[in-house]
Structure 1
Amino acid sequence: MPDSPTAEAPSVAVVIPAYNEAETVADVVRVGLSLTPEVVVASDGSSDDTAAVARAAGARVVELPENGGKGAALRAALDATGATLIVMLDADLTGLTTQHLHALLRPVQEGRLDMSIGVFEGGGFVTDWGNKLTPHLSGQRVCRREWLLAVPHLGEERWPEPAITAHLKNTGARWDYVELPEVGQVVKEKKRGFWKGAGARTRMYADLLTFRVRRKKP
């Protein structure tokens, strides 16, 4: 139910799971801070300067000692905030603005949706193509913290998006996609070199697309 005009606005936190994203995380943090003073970066066992760069940009930083996957980092970030509404962002976004965050936040803040999911539009061929083929795997989302913490196995999934999407269906939550014009991501092939990046991408999609099979096992 939408909050009444006189009700106190729910608190908002931006959470950013990050693994070796020192080149881009500061820009994402700064945009997050333009929306809310509470920006939490969970450095997932990064071996570069991700934590230091995020901290210098103004984020609260949680440092995981080992790389446990995006789900573990997301859970650590959620544990570090008590905000009512959570804006989830990837650490390697490009072209992100405050307006994009407002577009994601508004339908949840106003009570029209339980979750909004951001999809790229015009941010680059590779990221647009991948996002449009599998929009349900987007890492740009807004929802209530309490709902997100109830997602089964959230902190155990290396890539938690399928678990979150399954929970949407299982709980009958109201959700919709929100276009994010001119937003893209730095592709893995550029960050790690072609062959290492392609291998990482293949492993990521294999893990994402086998979620149902893995979770059905006894």
Structure 2
Amino acid sequence: METGCGVTCIIPFYNEGERIFSVLESVTSLGVFDQIICVDDGSEDDTLARIRQRWPRMTVIRMPENQGKTAAIKRGLQSVESAYVMLMDADLRNVDSKELGQIVRSVHQCPDVDMIILRRLHAEWFVKMNRADILLSGERILRTDDLRVILEKPVDGFQLEIAINEFMWRNQKTVCWVPWSATNTYKMDKRGAVDGFFKDFAMYADILQYIGILKFFRQVAGFARKPLLMGTRI
């Protein structure tokens, strides 16, 4: 891979089919990442073989069984050597390569920022209602050492983003968000209305079990309120 901006991109996936290929087409066309790591979280389809065939030089890791997004990222993190890591979901749609490249390059324009969250501007109203377009965004760039410290603690299931936020808040890190035009694929679209609803319910139950309701609403009220002004030093 072409050496870029000192940022490694980790993309975990599970039975994503064609969705991940449009994401990878955008990500691999940029030349801004030091490394792109795909972690197959025990998929039952042929996505892994197809990725290896299409991008033979890409780092692709296979989990022995489905263990969840957090476990997949923790496994991918073992192969990261760059100072920064970008986490990215595999089910994104409408990824703008130029926009993504500008965001990744902004890491070194604003060295005092500890984490950049890509805010999903086109999220549905019910997502924006509790600021999940920021708080639960799967796209974020942070220092590799910080993520390693976070994942030394018990973090599982759907808890990853909230755990990262809580670490940043507790350690008084500087966190900003940037506008992000890509959209994600909702669980209801993947699994159907009923199963998707229960998956979303399980996600919030998992989050609240981890952080507690008071700390959750503290994040809703005050976390990552500042937008990043591209090209300026914070």
Q: Same fold (TM over 0.5)?
A: yes
- TM-score if structure 1 supplies the norm length? 0.83
Partner of 2:223: none
Q: 1:45 to 1:9 in 2, by over 3 A?
A: closer
- For residue 228 of structure 2, what is the aligned residue in structure 1? none
Three-state SS of the structure 2 residue aligned to 1:178 is: strand
Does residue 130 (structure 1) correspond to residue 127 (structure 2)? The answer is: yes
State how far apart, in whole Å, the 2-side matches of 1:76 and 1:57 are: 22
SS at match of 1:94: coil
Unmatched runs of 5 consecutive residues or more in structure 1 = 1-7
Q: Does 1:26 align with 2:27?
A: no
CA shift, 1:178, in A, is 0.8
Partner of 1:53: 50
Count the aligned residue pairs. 204
Aligned amino acid, residue 42 of structure 1: V
- Aligned letter for 1:86? V
- Structure 1 pair 169/149, CA: closer, same or farther in 2 (3 Å)? same
Per-residue deviation, residues 85-131 of structure 1 (Å, max 9, x unmatched): 21110000001122232343234222141100011123xx53x6415
Checking the alignment, whether the CA contact within 8 Å between 1:93 and 1:186 is kept in structure 2 is: yes
Counterpart of 1:70? Answer: 69
Structure 2 Cα separation of the partners of residues 151 and 163 of structure 1: 7
| CA deviation string 1:173-207 (max 9, x = no partner) | 111111112x1011111112222222212211221
Q: What TM-score comes out, normalization by structure 2 length?
A: 0.78
Superposition deviation, residue 15 in structure 1: 0.6
Shift in Å at residue 137 of structure 1?
1.3
Other-structure match for 1:5: none
Indicate the residue corresponding to 2:35 in structure 1: 38
| Structure 2 gap ranges (5+) | 216-234
Write the distance in 1 (CA, Å) between the matches of 2:184 and 2:161.
16
The residue correspondences of 1:51-200 to structure 2 (distance < 5 A) are 51-58=48-55, 59-110=58-109, 111-122=111-122, 126=124, 129-131=126-128, 133=130, 134=132, 135-153=134-152, 156-159=155-158, 160-181=160-181, 183-200=182-199
Alignment identity in percent?
Answer: 28
Is contact 2:74–2:151 with CA below 8 Å preserved after alignment? Answer: no
> Which residue type is aligned with residue 96 of structure 2?
T
Equivalent position SS for 1:13: strand
Which structure carries more strand by proportion? 1
